[in-house]
Amino acid sequence: MMIDTKRDVNSTHENWVMSKRYRMGILGATGVVGQKFIELLDGHPWFETAELIASDRSVGKLYPEAVTWMGTAPIPKAVSETTVKRAADPLQCDFVFSGLDSSVATELESQFASQGLPVISNAKNFRSDPTVPLLIPEVNPDHLCLIQKQSWPNGGFIVTNPNCSTVGVVCSAKPLDDAFGVDALQITTMQALSGAGYPGVSSLDIQGNVLPFIRGEEEKLEMEPLKLLGSVVDSEVQRSEISISAQCNRVPVVDGHLISISVQFREKASLEDVEGVFRNFNSPSDVIDLPSSPDQFLHLFDDPECPQPARHSLLGGGMTVSVGRLKACGVLDYRFVSLVHNTIRGAAGGAILNAELLVSKGYIGNRDS
């Protein structure tokens, strides 16, 4: 499953004339997020997969021998002939994507940034660092200015994308916050299996079951939106002061986090106002033309049966966040559900869009080989 928009990149993004292509490395290339990077980057107009880095167990093997490939399409040909390297090996690339496990991400991402490489990370380790942008291009592109406060040598830096559930919440809350000022968010998630990595959740735990606990998830969901929705003052992010409560559940769904959200505004808004904001929110003009940007950042369903993880997660190639079931709330102001493809918009696809923004803004360049 590819990001649909890429196919037409030559026609719809003609204004991008890239003098040359960028070679990237993928850290944690055999994991769920690493695999999704490879799937999504197949045929990318700017980026080519130059290096695959994984743990010792995989080093020295051809990629197909090192991975339990979960895609429905075969492994892209170029990647299937690439040998997996270790993090300590010399790498030929212009930047790296990190799909590393948090247990090793601090050390390894620091190591790559120290080598002067841009690190576009999906790991949680640096998300709360005040010098590291926690970035969704449509939400807080101005946070990129934090990079200048990082002190890695040779132009290395780290940019992170949020936790997958946070993405589902913030992408739907951002337009509302802009319009009415969000005061409180009451959140219950129903999260997909792929969010837990591989092998992740045991089938014996989740078959015909719901797990009302995901370690560390509620904490992330109550913290990350405050940074994402914060404003930049004097090159620092002033965290938003929204009250957030999050209850996180795991459900037997492969991809797509469905999230119940109730919201309280600082300003009064009618149901039509809220619908209008959902319908009319546009991606910033310097984002909409990026190769992985979906035509529609946010899609509001009127059909009460929608959105559903198994049917609507892939909208906009997995980069569109869907909302639906919008109604007045008996306790706060309004409530709705939000759906995000957790490994595309909520992980690998989000990181790729971040890298594209960084290229377009000149933060990532070609390095001499």
Nearest one of 76, 11, 69, 80 to 43, comparing CA atoms: 76
Catalytic residue among 93, 164, 248, 306: 164
Assess 71 for contact with a copy of itself (CB under 8 A). Answer: yes
The CB density around residue 192, as the number of other CB atoms within 10 Å, is: 26
Nearer to a copy of itself, 111 or 249 (CB): 249
Asked if 164 is an active-site residue, the reply is yes
Assess 11 for contact with a copy of itself (CB under 8 A). Answer: no
Assess 319 for contact with a copy of itself (CB under 8 A). Answer: no
H or E element, residue 247: strand 243-250
Burial readout 43-79 (b: 16 or more C-beta within 10 A, e: otherwise) = ebebbbbbbbbbbeebbeebbeebbebeeeeebbeeb
Assess 313 for contact with a copy of itself (CB under 8 A). Answer: yes
Nearer to a copy of itself, 4 or 48 (CB): 4
Asked if 257 is an active-site residue, the reply is yes
Q: What is the DSSP letter of 344?
A: I
Please, which of residues 232-261 interact with a copy of itself by CB under 8 A?
243-247, 249, 251-254, 258, 260
Torsion 314-280-283-109 (CA) sign: negative
Assess 203 for contact with a copy of itself (CB under 8 A). Answer: yes
Exactly one of 67, 173, 201, 298 binds a copy of itself (CB under 8 A); which one? 201
Assess 10 for contact with a copy of itself (CB under 8 A). Answer: no
Exactly one of 62, 211, 232, 288 binds a copy of itself (CB under 8 A); which one? 211
Least Cβ distance, residue 26 to a copy of itself (angstroms): 19
Exactly one of 6, 227, 312, 345 binds a copy of itself (CB under 8 A); which one? 312
- Contacts with a copy of itself by CB under 8 A: the residue count is 65
Question: What does the longest C-alpha to C-alpha distance in the chain come to?
Answer: 61
Nearer to a copy of itself, 19 or 103 (CB): 103
Assess 275 for contact with a copy of itself (CB under 8 A). Answer: no
The CB density around residue 302, as the number of other CB atoms within 10 Å, is: 9
Exactly one of 78, 184, 232, 288 binds a copy of itself (CB under 8 A); which one? 184
Tokens of 249: 């559940």
Assess 125 for contact with a copy of itself (CB under 8 A). Answer: no
Assess 72 for contact with a copy of itself (CB under 8 A). Answer: yes
- 334-340 and 257-265 as β-strands: parallel, antiparallel, unpaired? antiparallel
Distances (CA, A) of 135 to 64, 138, 357, 362: 32, 9, 10, 16
Least Cβ distance, residue 113 to a copy of itself (angstroms): 31
Question: Distance (Å, rounded) from C-alpha 216 to C-alpha 259?
Answer: 17
Question: Distance (Å, rounded) from C-alpha 317 to C-alpha 41?
Answer: 13
Residues pairing with 236 in the sheet:
233
Active site residues: 164, 257
Query: Under the rule (CB under 8 A), what is the footprint of a copy of itself?
Result: 32, 68, 70-74, 184-186, 188, 190, 193-194, 198-213, 222, 243-247, 249, 251-254, 258, 260, 262, 264, 304-315, 324-325, 329-332, 335, 337
